[in-house]
Amino acid sequence: MVLKTTNSFSTGHAEKAKDAGRRAPKKGSRVTEERAKAQRAKLDTQAEARHVQEEQEVVVQKTQSKKVGRQEGQAKRRVIETLIEAYIQDHIGGNHSDKTVEWHQTALGLLHLFLKEQLEIMQIDEVESDDISAWFAHMRTTPGAHGKVRSERTIQTYARSARAFFHWLIRRGTLEHNPFDRVVFPKVGRPLIQTITTEEFEKLLLACAPPNETGPFAERAAVRNRAILWLLYDTGIRVSELINLHLDDLDRKKGVVTVMGKGSKERRIALGQNCLRNLSYYLDKYRPNAEELADWGSAGESCLFLSETRQPLTKNGMEMLCKRLKERAGITGKRISPHIFRHTFAMNYLIKSNDPFSLQELLGHEDLTTVLNYIHMNDTVLQEQKRKYSPGDHIPTRMPGPRETRRASTQPNEVRRRKEAGQ
């Protein structure tokens, strides 16, 4: 009985010891897990911190790249050559004439070349007023494209283009200050406007017939040339407008021609009877018909005036025509060109109508400034007007001075003698 009790006690004690052994490892395992969990949390926090730092570095890098790219873009946009190209494109987009675009290209090309080669200036911010003045001086001392020293008027023309360019830079916010504000702008006197007299116009009309030539083709050339001269003389249109006239532009019933001017602006000009008669005579009798145009490979050509090859006239062809007519007419001392007819029309119209506002519309000018230049008349008209309205010839006879230079008095001789004797 005692033995059984002892065995039972031993067995129970062993089982308790076994259970205690099982519980001891479980306590150590929980500590290890807590430590592992803490370690993992620490590692996760460090990984997250590294990830945030990497993201921040990427953002900073991207920001710096954008900043550098923006700075490079801004620097590129401030390069003089790039800005000039943008300015020219702005003119083209504004439907400005080819002549205007060519003028700006030439003038600004010279400015860019001078700043680059002479002063090593590439950025627009580096240009100062002294640099502009140096450019003016450089153009006065260096020959132009034709090997001749540029005239003051040519230099002023280029300066106006450059000034407009810098005004454009101010308007678009590229520059805050305009170097032209502190520049002495080139000044030139207004030239006396040359015109052709009535006698010279008659000589030119007579010279339209080719010398020592007869036949239908010579007569056609003479009639066409007279129609051209009458149209230039009677309307004052530009040579570019004349060579681009089409048959539909002439309304013979109303006696009006529609002209496409600068900037694709249309204007209507009434024709005088002499001009309309010469135009109609050319169109009805001598302009090549549809069959002849087809034979020459110009089928459907609608230009008003055609050359001997049945093609539209060109500016160079008009210049050569005026040169030939001048030589045949024996006119010297002035240049006969299509533009002198424009001056002649403007002068004659202004003298006869005394209306610069309607003249502005007829000439197709945007403002009155150019028209007012015609008030600075040529010397002949100016002196005639001076003699006609001389203030010195319209003063009272009682003014002191030699009597023989004064106007004759309307008083009787006896009264005049008494006044002279002091009676």
Catalytic residues: 238, 262, 339, 342, 365, 374
The Cα–Cα gap between 39 and 48 comes to: 14
The Cα–Cα gap between 277 and 294 comes to: 27
The answer to whether residues 257 and 363 touch, using CB atoms and an 8 Å cutoff, is: no
The answer to whether residues 316 and 199 touch, using CB atoms and an 8 Å cutoff, is: no
The Cα–Cα gap between 267 and 363 comes to: 9
Looking at this protein, which amino acid is placed at residue 57? E
Q: Which residues of 76-107 are buried (b: 16+ CB within 10 A; e: fewer)?
A: eebebeebbeebbeebeeeebeeeeeebbbeb
Q: What are residue 258's DSSP bridge partners?
A: 268
What one-character-per-residue DSSP string does 332-349 give? -SS---HHHHHHHHHHHH
Q: Which residue has the tokens 């490892």?
A: 25
Q: In the numeric block, which tokens belong to residue 328? A: 């045949």
Q: What are residue 312's DSSP bridge partners?
A: 306
The Cα–Cα gap between 178 and 77 comes to: 17
Kindly give, in sequence order, each residue whose CB lies less than 8 Å from that of residue 372, ignoring residues fewer than 6 positions away.
356
Nearest CA to 235 out of 105, 132, 366, 362 is that of: 362
The Cα–Cα gap between 123 and 74 comes to: 11
Alpha carbons within 13 A on the beta-carbon side of 22: 6
Q: Which residue has the tokens 């002063």?
A: 119
DSSP structure class, residue 268: E
The answer to whether residues 123 and 115 touch, using CB atoms and an 8 Å cutoff, is: no
Query: Roughly how many angstroms between the first and final C-alpha of the chain, as a whole number?
Result: 194
DSSP structure class, residue 284: I
Nearest CA to 368 out of 376, 377, 358, 378 is that of: 358
DSSP structure class, residue 4: H
Q: Which residue has the tokens 């030539």?
A: 213
- CA max distance for the chain: 196
